[in-house]
Amino acid sequence: MEFPESNEKRKKLGQAIMFGLSRGISYGIVALLFLILFFIVKQGIGVISWEFLTAMPTDGMTKGGIWPAIVGTVYLVLGSMLFAFPVGVMAGIYVNEYAVAGPVKRFVKMMTNNLAGVPSIIFGLFGMALFVNQMGFGASILAGSLTLGLLALPIVIRTTEEALKSVDDTFRQASYALGGSKLYTIRKVVLPIALPNILTGLILAVGRVSGETAPILFTVAAYFLPKLPSSIMDQAMALPYHLYVISTSGTQIEASRPMAYGTALVLVVIVLIVNIAAALLRNYFGKKVKMN
Amino acid sequence: MANKLETIDVNLHYGDFHALKGISLAIPDHSVTALIGPSGCGKSTYLRLFNRMNDLIPNTKITGQVLMDGEDIYKIKSSKIDHLRRTVGMVFQKPNPFPKSIFENVAYGLRVNGISDNSFIENQVEKTLRQAVLWEEVKDKLKKSAFELSGGQQQRLCIARALAIEPTVILMDEPASALDPISTGKIEDLIFELKNQYTIIIVTHNMQQAGRVSDYTGFFYLGNLIEFDKTKKIFTSPSKRETENYITGRFG
Ligand SMILES: Nc1ncnc2c1ncn2[C@@H]1O[C@H](COP(=O)(O)OP(=O)(O)OP(=O)(O)O)[C@@H](O)[C@H]1O
Ligand SMILES: [Mg+2]
């Protein structure tokens, strides 16, 4: 059979356009990311100094450093993960390994998805009502961490669930076939295999939590504190809120502009470091359980 | 020879789907039985009857009798199911070692079942690795991850893992279909060795393999057992037209 030459040409052209387009878009996105990073670095690098990182803010937050906001953010990220990670992983295990298929399971999954879509300011209001007022924690690191933890929960649950789902069922069957109980099988076989992917959820959650302002607004964040928090019942400053404050309120917005960019840079770098650390951790575990 | 396993008029439904249709079959002790048939005909489903793995699939209904050493294994107390699963080893299509060291993979079944005597475990691991003809290849790297082994070695490790708790029956679901010809040959040699001590059922899509390793062959089609006989007989003069069509490749 003779195939027309023109058809081949058309196919080639179509491919070239499609590949070119998608390559262009993906390069464009990367370029945009670098542009943002470059912008922040360029604007912020000037104020970065040892003092900026380790000193208290002074002169109505136009001078000095952002040390208390760094400390506050680290506490809040750690606190929220301490709550959200174990709870979320356990919930994910329940949904994927224990819950029987049916309306209840569907409902739980639906609610988890809905929770992920709730605007973060709502979490803030809820956190204030429940943790600050109802449970009487007041505006505190504890209340803020729990609120941020709630925000992170759906992410951790979903990624855990997906990670467990991707573990081939024959691993479970092989363990049962050797007389292993369900719990033993999950602990010794399923979780270790799923761990690298579960850690992805942790990465995503940390990224989300560290940048949020709305949930901490009413639950923990302080405009300015003269000293570092000394217990989980204290208020704290936090980078995103500090950034918000010095760039929107006060009488000297222009004067504190460089401080704002410096703060943004520090926030970005912290998120980056946490992400890289988590990715390294994931690769490390991933190698340990490498599939072939 | 006594029958090790027997099913009497077994029907299995996945929800509305009738996957096994009145299967009656007796499998002699210390023999290798091959189950053949086109994809989706119920071979794996039939295999999973013997260690009650189908119980784990929701909405499964089973009627009829499944006997092991004359006892109906669907009438035993639920607390005895773990014991049943220990006496029936299983090997899967894709090698699936646990994310552990080579040593711990073989020791898994012992540890699960509460054995903690280390010298006993060590002996048992060596013994079963030798049985699975893997010992010489791995004796210097027992502490290494099982994932570092080749696919064929992993599959022999999975066989060793199943053997470690001394089952009497071994179920193999296409154990060599993901392996190269040399690894496949090793697995087949191994099956040949093992049948002195165990009763083996193997599902395979490879007619030559069924011919080489098995004493008996059962041909399944659309949930029915069409024919069951000595392998020689099945491959030289099958009594059913469908069987002949299938094994000669004139099928469908
Ligand atoms: N968990 C399940 N739920 C519903 N139907 C199932 C399930 N497992 C298998 N089936 C159906 O039962 C039939 C038999 O499946 P089975 O896996 O036993 O076939 P098989 O002979 O092993 O096929 P293959 O050679 O492809 O492995 C198929 O039609 C399949 O679709
Ligand atoms: Mg099958």
Q: How confident is the model at residue A280 (pLDDT cuts 50, 70, 90)?
A: confident
Task: Report the separation in Å between the CA atom of B3 and the middle of ligand 2, taken as the mean of its atom positions.
Answer: 24
Chain A residue nearest residue B145, CA to CA = A288
Helix-strand-coil split of chain B, %, nearest 5: 40, 25, 35
Given a cut of 80, is residue B251 above it in pLDDT? no
Given a cut of 50, is residue A292 above it in pLDDT? no
Given a cut of 50, is residue A291 above it in pLDDT? no
Same domain, A94 and A229: yes
Q: Which residue pairs from B244-249 have beta carbons closer than 8 angstroms and sit at least 24 positions apart in sequence?
A: B246/B36, B246/B37, B246/B38, B246/B219, B246/B221, B247/B36, B247/B207, B247/B219
Instruction: Find residue A7's DSSP bridge partners.
Output: none
Q: Residue A167 corresponds to which amino acid?
A: V
The answer to whether residue A234 is domain-embedded is yes
Look at the block and give the residue holding tokens 């679901």. Answer: B173
Q: Which residue has a Cα nearest atom 22 of ligand 1?
A: B44
Same domain, A225 and A194: yes
Residue A260 domain boundaries? 50-285
Question: How close is the nearest chain B Cα to the Cα of A102, in Å?
Answer: 11
Given a cut of 80, is residue A96 above it in pLDDT? yes
Residue B249: per-residue pLDDT:
81
Same domain, A15 and A71: no
User: Helix, strand or coil for residue B238?
Assistant: coil
Q: Given an 8 Å threshold on Cβ–Cβ distance, is A179 in contact with B86? A: yes
Ligand nearest B43 Cα, by number? 1
Task: Write the CA distances from A273 to A207, A209, A267, integer angstroms.
Answer: 10, 14, 10
Q: Residue B67 corresponds to which amino acid?
A: L
| Cβ contacts of A175 on chain B, cutoff 8 Å | 98, 108, 112
Share of chain B above pLDDT 90, in %: 83
Phi, then psi, of B105 in degrees rounded to 5: -60, -45
Q: Could you tell me which residues of chain B have a Cβ less than 8 Å from any Cβ in chain A?
A: 51, 53, 56, 58, 82-83, 85-86, 88-90, 92-94, 96, 98-100, 108-109, 112-113, 145, 147, 151, 158, 161-162, 165
Work out whether the CA dihedral A213, A219, A224, A229 comes out positive or negative.
Answer: negative
Task: Write the CA distances from A289 to A279, B31, B94, integer angstroms.
Answer: 15, 36, 16
Same domain, A75 and A29: no
Same domain, A3 and A69: no
DSSP H helices in A45-66? 50-54
Q: Does A187 touch chain B (CB under 8 A)?
A: no
Spell out which residues line ligand 1, taking CB within 6 angstroms: B 14, 17, 19, 37, 39-45, 57
Task: Report the separation in Å between the CA atom of A173 and the middle of ligand 2, taken as the mean of its atom positions.
Answer: 14
Same domain, A260 and A183: yes
Specify whether the CB–CB gap between A225 and A64 falls below 8 A. Answer: no
Nearest-by-Cβ selection for A192 from B93, B99, B113: B99
pLDDT tens profile B34-83? 999 999 999 999 999 999 999 888 899 999 999 999 999 999 998 888 88
Q: Which residue has a Cα nearest atom 6 of ligand 1?
A: B14
Two tokens, residue B148: 């570092």
Query: How many domains does chain A contain in total?
Result: 2
Q: Are strands B32-36 and B199-203 parallel, antiparallel or unpaired?
A: parallel
Ligand nearest B35 Cα, by number? 1
The enclosing domain of A131 has a CATH number of 1.10.3720.10
Same domain, A88 and A7: no
Question: How close is the nearest chain A Cα to the Cα of B49, in Å?
Answer: 12
Ligand 1 atom showing the smallest separation from residue B37 Cα: 21
Given a cut of 70, is residue A28 above it in pLDDT? yes
Specify whether the CB–CB gap between A32 and A45 falls below 8 A. Answer: no
Same domain, A206 and A271: yes
| Cβ contacts of A193 on chain B, cutoff 8 Å | 99
What is the rounded average pLDDT for all residues in chain B?
93
Ligand nearest B53 Cα, by number? 1
d(CA A40, CA A272): 13
Same domain, A86 and A28: no
Residue of B17, B209, B221, B222 to test ligand 1 pocket, by largest number of atoms within 8 Å of CB: B17
The answer to whether residue A292 is domain-embedded is no
CATH annotation of B3-247 = 3.40.50.300
Domain spans of chain B, in order of start: 3-247
Task: Write the CA distances from B152 to A172, B39, B98, B155, B156, integer angstroms.
Answer: 21, 24, 15, 5, 6
Same domain, A147 and A260: yes
Question: How close is the nearest chain B Cα to the Cα of A180, in Å?
Answer: 6
The answer to whether residue A291 is domain-embedded is no
d(CA B98, CA A175): 9
Question: How close is the nearest chain A Cα to the Cα of B115, in Å?
Answer: 12
The answer to whether residue A128 is domain-embedded is yes
Same domain, A39 and A136: no
pLDDT tens profile B234-250? 999 999 999 999 988 87
| Cβ contacts of B108 on chain A, cutoff 8 Å | 175, 178, 180, 188
Residue A250: per-residue pLDDT:
66
Q: How confident is the model at residue A101 (pLDDT cuts 50, 70, 90)?
A: confident
What is the rounded average pLDDT for all residues in chain A?
89
Task: Report the separation in Å between the CA atom of B71 and the middle of ligand 2, taken as the mean of its atom positions.
Answer: 26
Residue of B10, B16, B44 to test ligand 1 pocket, by largest number of atoms within 8 Å of CB: B44
Chain A residue nearest residue B144, CA to CA = A288
Look at the block and give the residue holding tokens 């000037």. Answer: A46
The answer to whether residue A62 is domain-embedded is yes
Per-residue pLDDT averaged across A81-98, rounded?
94
Ligand 1 atom showing the smallest separation from residue B220 Cα: 21
Residue B172: per-residue pLDDT:
95
The answer to whether residue A290 is domain-embedded is no
Specify whether the CB–CB gap between A196 and A100 falls below 8 A. Answer: no
d(CA A243, CA B173): 61
pTM of the complete model? 0.82
Same domain, A166 and A54: yes
Per-residue pLDDT averaged across A236-255, rounded?
84
Q: Does A192 touch chain B (CB under 8 A)?
A: yes
Chain B residue nearest residue A194, CA to CA = B99
